[in-house]
Amino acid sequence: MYKTLDFDVEILDAVFNRPGRYFVKMTIQSSATKDYSKVLLRKWPDETFTRDYEALTSVVTQKGTENEPELCVFEDKKFTFRLPAGFCKNDRNHDVYLHLEAFSLPTNDVDTGKKTGEGKIAIYPRTNAPRTNHLVSPGEDMYRHTTVVSLLRANNKKGQGEMHCGRMRCNFSLKEFDLEAQKRKTMEDDERQRNEDMERQEEERKLELERLAAEKKREDEDRKKREELEKNLNAEDPFQARNKVVRTPAPYEQPPPATFKRAATPISEWGDSTSINLPATPPGEGFLDELRTTIDSPLREYDQSSYSANQSWRHTARPGQEQVDVIIHGASNLPNASNGKVPQPFATLKTKADMDANQKAKSRTHAVVKPTNAPSWEEMVTIETDEKNSDKTGLVLAVNDWISREELTKYIIPVSSLQPFHQYHVEMVTPARGRPEGVKVYASIVRKLASLPEHASSPNYLGLEVFLRGVKYPLQNPVGPLIAVARIVPDYYNYKNDNLLSNPRAAGVSMFSVSFPNPPPHTFAVSGRSSHGYPQLSLLGRPEEQPRWNHPYLFCDEKDKATMFTPSAALVIEYYVANNAMTDEFWRIQSPVGFSSLLLDQKVYKLLCQEKAQNGLRVDGIPIMGSDLRCSDERVPVIDTVLKLITTHQPTSMVAMSNLDNLPAMELRDGAGTAAHTADILQVRTPTPQSEHEEEQEEVVEEDDGQIEPGLYLQKVDRDRL
C-alpha cells in the first residue's frame, strides 16, 4: 500500500564564492513521471498547503570578500513538500530527488537572475546513509540528517569538469503523513476547548450563585432592619400604622411611548462616498430583547489567519461557488450580557441555512482582550456559498459574548443585493430597546464570483492587481498599526488639490448606514459616477515600527478600467492610524497621516504589457508624502509594491508567490533630473496633464484602425455621441 509522504527542507545557512545577491530554487523531480500536479507545498510558518512542486527562498546578500565570505541566512528557509501516495515507490524506476539551483541577481535589479550552481539530494529511495527506516510509525521520521550540499556548475573550458561555486548546510527529513494523528489532534483541540469552556462556565455559575446568595442575604438583613424600625415607630405612634393610599396615575402622567431615533453618523466632507442615513427602522418587531445562546466560539490565540492575507487568498471564487470576504472593523453600543456584565465580544459569519441547522460557524474572529461594549477587531472572515442558490442565500454576521456564550446582535445580509467585486463600507444598524441609536457593526464587504467580468472599456485586460508589500525601512516615529486605503482616481491633479493638500485632510472613506433587519433591496446599489474612484481598505499593517501589509487590491470595476490608463489617472494609497478609528460611539478613520501616488498613464500600461511583466512588475521606493513620519536616518519613508495586469478570468493572487524580489522592477525615474513617475507633489516636479497628453499625442497613429486604446474608452464614447 502506497503512502503519502512529507519531505521537510530547512536551509540553515549558505556561502557563495563571490559577494552578491542570491536566492535558491528547490524543485521536486522524479525519473518516472512528469506529472507534479498533486504535489503540495507548505511554506513555514504558514500552516496551509498549496499545489506546487517548486519553492523559492528569500533573497540574501553575500557580504565580505571572496577570500573571507560571510555566511548567509535566508528569511524564507523552511519548506515541506507533500508527495502523494504512489509518487515514491521502492524500485529502480521511481527515483525521487530534490533539485537545488542557486541564482545570482544583477546589480541593475531588472533581470530575473542567472543560475550560478546546482545540486541534488536523493529523497527516495536512499542509496547511502542515512538509510530509510520503514518500521517507524506514521508521523515519525523515516530519516533525518544534516548535510552540506555543494553547488556546482559546468565549466566551459575544454578538458575541465565542474566548478564549485558555493555550498549550503541543510536539514532534510522524510516521514509518512499521519492523517489519523491530524484528526486526533483536531479532536483533542476541540475537546480541550470544550473542557475549558465547561470549566469557565462552571466557574461563572459558581460566582453567579455566590453573588445571588450574597444579594439575598443583604436583602434579608435590610428587610429585618426595616421591619424593626417600623415596629418601633408604630409602638411610639399607633396612628402611623395606617396603610398608605396608592393613587392610580392619570392618563396624562403615563410616560410617552418610546421612539427610535438614529444618531447622526459622521460623514465625509466631500463628494461621492458620503454616508447615507436611511430612514430608521420603526420600533417593535426586530428589537433585541432576550439574548440567544450561541454554540460558536472565537478563534484561538495561536490562529493568526484572520489578521492578514494568507496564501489561500483568491481574487475569484472557486468554480460553481461564490465567495464573500468581510473585514470586520468593530462594533458600538453592544448590549450587556443577560447577567448585566460587560461582554467580551467576538464575531462570526455563517449562512442562514447553517444558522437554521444549528451549525457552528467556521468563519470567526478572536475575542477582544478586555470586556467592552465597543470592540475593535480589524479581522477578515471568508465564506463560500453555492452560486446556484446565491439569490436565496443570506449571510448571518453575528456578534457574541465569549464569557456568557450569548448572541448580542446579528445581521442577515442578502448576498444577491451585493454588486460583485465592489468593496462596500457599511455601518449596519439594528434597533434595541433603551438604545435610541441602535446597535452598530462596521464592516467592509466584497462579493466574489467565479470569473472576472469583461467590459468594452478594457478589451485587452480584465483588471489591475496592486500588491502592497510594506514600508521598506524602519520608522523613527511610528504612530501605530496603519490601514492602507487604495483607489484609482481619473483626475489625480484635481483630487490632489481638493483632498491631499488640505490641512487637515478629509478622510477618503466613510461608512454608509444600512437599517436591519429588513434593508431595502436598493440599499446596496453602487453609484456609476465617482470622481474619487472606489476606495478599498486593507487589513492592518504591522509591526508599527515597519508596517507590512502584503495585501492585494484588485481593480476590475468598469469605471476604474475605463480611466486607469489616461494621462491624469493615478493610483493613490492613503494611510490611516487604526488606533484612532474606533471610539465608544462609532468607527471612523480620521485624517490620513500620509499618502503615496503613482501615475497610471500609457507608459505604465506599455511596461505592464511586456512579456517579462506577465507575473508582475515591482515598483519599489514610492515615497510616503505629506507626512511627519521619518526613517531612522531622517529620510522620507518609502513603500514597495507590485503591479500586474490581469488578463485571465480566474487569476492567481500574488499572495501565493514565494518570492516577489525575483520579479523585474519598474524604474520610477527616466533619468537624472527628470520627474519621478510617482506623483510626489511635495518633493519632485510632477508632469502636468498637458505635458503627459502631448507625449501621448506624439505616439498616436493618425489612422483609425478601430482599436480602442486602454483608458480612452470614455473619450471615444463621448466623441461618438457628439
Domains of the chain, by residue range, sit at 5-182, 292-448, 463-510+517-697
Q: Does position 408 have pLDDT exceeding 90, yes or no?
A: yes
Angle at 649 between CA 643 and CA 651, to 5 degrees: 45
Higher pLDDT, residue 433 or 55: 55
Q: Mean pLDDT lowest for which of 37-46, 52-61, 153-162, 395-404?
A: 153-162
Read off the pTM.
Answer: 0.59
The band of 289, judged by pLDDT with boundaries at 50, 70 and 90, is: low
Which one has a higher pLDDT value, 230 or 117?
A: 117
| CATH architecture under which domain 292-448 falls | Sandwich (2.60)
- pLDDT tens profile 194-235: 777 778 777 777 887 888 888 888 888 888 887 777 777 655
What mean pLDDT is reported for the chain? Answer: 80
- DSSP for 245-292, written as a single string: P-PPPPGGGSPPPP---PPPPP--SSSTT----PPPPPSSTT-B-SPE
The span from the CA of 265 to the CA of 278, in Å, is: 11
Q: How far apart are CA 570 and CA 87, in angstroms?
A: 49
* Percent of all residues in the chain with a pLDDT value above 90, rounded to a whole number: 35
CB proximity list for 244: less than 8 A, separation 6 or greater: none
Grid coordinates representing 151 are: 553547488
On the CB side of 129, how many CA atoms lie within 13 Å of its CA? 2
Place of cell 475575542: 367
DSSP 685: P
Judging by beta carbons within 10 Å of its beta carbon (0-12, 13-18, 19+), is residue 65 exposed, middle or buried? Answer: exposed
* pLDDT of residue 686 exceeding 60: no
CA 292, chain centre distance (Å): 31
Tens-digit pLDDT profile for residues 458-485? 888 999 999 999 999 999 999 999 999 9
Which neighbouring-strand residues pair with 665?
618
Cell numbers standing for residue 172: 532534510
Please indicate whether the domains covering 292-448 and 463-510+517-697 agree at the CATH topology level.
yes
* CATH hierarchy code of domain 5-182: 2.60.40.150
Residue 188 is predicted with a pLDDT of 75
Cβ pair 7, 126 in contact under 8 A: no
Residue 423 burial (10 A CB sphere; 0-12, 13-18, 19+): buried
Sign of the CA dihedral running 43, 468, 617, 63: negative
Cα–Cα dist 654/551, whole Å:
9
Report the distance separating Cα 368 and Cα 378, nearest Å.
Answer: 11
At 415-443, the pLDDT tens digits run 989 999 999 999 999 988 878 888 999 99
DSSP 664: -
Q: How confident is the model at residue 65 (pLDDT cuts 50, 70, 90)?
A: confident
From CA 277, how far away is CA 275, in angstroms rounded? 6
Backbone angles phi, psi at 721, to 5 degrees: -65, -40
- Tally Cβ neighbours within 10 Å of residue 30: 21
Q: Give the phi and the psi of residue 432 in degrees, each rounded to 5.
A: -150, 140
88: Cβ–Cβ under 8 A, 6 or more apart, which residues?
A: 2, 3, 5, 94, 96, 123, 124, 125
CB distance 514 to 523 below 8 Å = yes
Residue partners of 375: CB distance under 8 A and separation at least 6? 330, 331, 334, 345, 368, 399, 582
AA letter at 355: M
- Work out the pLDDT band at 113, boundaries 50, 70, 90: low
Average pLDDT over residues 562-587: 88
Q: How confident is the model at residue 388 (pLDDT cuts 50, 70, 90)?
A: confident
β-pairing verdict for 394-401 and 463-471 = unpaired
Q: Are 404 and 201 in contact (CB under 8 A)?
A: no
HSE of 126 in the Cβ direction (CA atoms, 13 Å)?
15
Helix (H, G, I), strand (E, B) or coil at 195: helix
Higher pLDDT, 215 or 686: 215
Strand, coil or helix: 62? strand
Residue 523 confidence (pLDDT): 84
Residue 95's nearest CA partner among 125, 63, 136, 139 is 125
In degrees and rounded to multiples of 5, residue 6 shows phi and psi of -110, 120
**What's the confidence (pLDDT) of residue 654?**
84
Contact 549, 438 (CB under 8 A): no
What is the 8-class DSSP label of residue 452? P
Cβ-proximal residues to 407 (8 Å cutoff; 6+ apart), any chain: 291, 292, 293, 294, 398, 399, 400, 401
DSSP for 455-522, written as a single string: -TT-TT-SEEEEEEEEESS-BSS--S-EEEEEEEES-HHHHIIIIISSSSPPPS---EEEESSS--GG
Q: What is the 3-state secondary structure (H, E, C) of 627-640?
A: CCCCECCCCCCEEE
What length is written for the chain? 722
Among the residue ranges 131-140, 277-286, 305-314, 474-483, the one predicted with the least confidence is: 277-286
At the fourth CATH level, which superfamily is domain 463-510+517-697? Answer: C2 domain (2.60.40.150)
Secondary structure (3-state) at 28 = strand
Q: Which residue from 105, 143, 101 is spatially nearest to 126, judged by alpha carbons?
A: 143
Neighbours of 457 (CB within 10 A): 21
Mean pLDDT calculated for residue range 136-140: 78
Upstream peptide bond of 45 is cis (omega within 30 degrees of 0):
yes
Q: What is the pLDDT, as a whole number, of residue 704? A: 42
